[in-house]
Structures are given as structure tokens and as C-alpha cells.
Amino acid sequence: MIVERRRPEASDQAERQALMRRGPLITLFSRGLAIAGNVLVDLLLSGGAMTNHVRMAIYSITQGTYAELMERAREGMAPILRDSPGFVFYSTTDVGGGRFVSVSTWETREQAEAATEKAAQWVSENLADSVSLEENLIGEMTTLAATERAAV
């Protein structure tokens, strides 16, 4: 993860204080670590960016429902990814039409590639009769803006 940071200019002080009064700004990273307060405020005020690597997979559902598959993934895939080096977060999105997107974020490209292998193995052992992989993508994600909402 790359975090660009600078000291705030004197003109930023009022905006900085207003952001801090709104409550703690927190971005969650792997294993409960967080960047909060001054570092994130400086980052947002400076127009800085955080960079991670993302693994996105697009699946077609061949059997079952999205809700059923996500419960299985929550119980099986999520713990495997969460315990992997460089893990940041894992989420899925029901995009309709019997398809969903799985997104996991990692500190390095190598960790995202290793996650692809772990995911493929888990899916082949647990969901082979329920999903079909349409596309697998790995790339660098640059976070340009964020709110104070924390990821679950």
C-alpha cells in the first residue's frame, strides 16, 4: 500500500479542523489496522491517494441463489482470504442476471495473484456445481476519495 502524505498548509487548517470535528476518519486495512485522524485528513486534503491491488472475478450462477452462495462464501472463502498475507478486504456484488462480482483487495500484486489461486481452489472444491467463472482480473486500485464510513 502506498500512502502519499504532506503537511497541511496554513490555509488548510480550518478545513482540517472541520473534518476532525465530524468525528474520527478511519480507513480499515488488513487485520484491523487503521489509518486515522491526522494521516487520513492530510491525505484527503492533499489530494493524495492510497494504492492497493484488486482481484476481481465475475461469476455466473448456475445453481442456487446469490444469498445462498454468499453464505457459503462467508463461511468458507472469507476466513481463508482474511488469514492471508496482505489482505485488506473482500466483498461481493450481485449485478443481476444471475451474475455476481467478487472483489478482494491486497497490499501487493503478488498477494492478489496468490489469492486468485486460493479462490480457484476453494471454488472448485465448494462451488463448482453452482458457479462458472467468466473473467478474472487483477489490477492496481487507486483510492482517490473516501467517506468516514468504515468498511465491514
Q: 3-state SS string over the chain?
A: CEECCCCCCHHHHHHHHHHHHCCCCEEECHHHCEEECHHHHHHHHHCCCEEEEEEEEEEEECCCCHHHHHHHHHHCHHHHHHCCCCEEEEEEEEEECCEEEEEEEECCHHHHHHHHHHHHHHHHHHCCCCEEEEEEEEEEEEECCCCCCCCC
Q: Is residue 24 domain-shared with residue 60, that is, in the same domain?
A: no
Q: What is the pTM of this model?
A: 0.65
Give the number of domains in the chain.
2
pLDDT at residue 96 in the model: 96
pLDDT at residue 149 in the model: 59
Residues of the chain with pLDDT under 70: 1-50, 148-152
pLDDT at residue 49 in the model: 57
Q: Is residue 10 domain-shared with residue 74, that is, in the same domain?
A: no
CB atoms within 10 A of CB 39: 15
- Residue 149 in any domain: the answer is no
- Residue 151 in any domain: the answer is no
pLDDT at residue 24 in the model: 39
pLDDT at residue 101 in the model: 96
Q: Are 111 and 86 in contact (CB under 8 A)?
A: yes
Domain that holds residue 7: 2-46
Q: Is residue 55 domain-shared with residue 106, that is, in the same domain?
A: yes
Q: Is residue 63 domain-shared with residue 137, that is, in the same domain?
A: yes
